[in-house]
Amino acid sequence: AQSVTQPDIHITVSEGASLELRCNYSYGATPYLFWYVQSPGQGLQLLLKYFSGDTLVQGIKGFEAEFKRSQSSFNLRKPSVHWSDAAEYFCAVGSNSGYALNFGKGTSLLVTP
Does residue 77 contact residue 13 with C-beta atoms inside 8 Å?
no
Does 29 contact another protein by CB under 8 A?
no
Does residue 33 contact residue 95 with C-beta atoms inside 8 Å?
no
Q: Which amino acid is at 8?
A: D
Smallest separation (angstroms) from another protein to the CB of 4: 9
**Rounded CA gap, 20 and 64, in Å?**
10
Beta bridge partners of 88: 38, 108
**Rounded CA gap, 86 and 81, in Å?**
9
**Number of residues forming the site for another protein (CB under 8 A):** 25
Taking residues 50 to 89 in sequence order and writing x for each that binds another protein by CB under 8 A, - otherwise, the string is: -xx-------------------------------------
Stretch that binds another protein, among 12-20, 34-42, 64-72, 73-81 (CB under 8 A): 34-42
Does 95 contact another protein by CB under 8 A?
yes
For another protein, give the closer residue by CB, 99 or 113: 99
Does 42 contact another protein by CB under 8 A?
yes
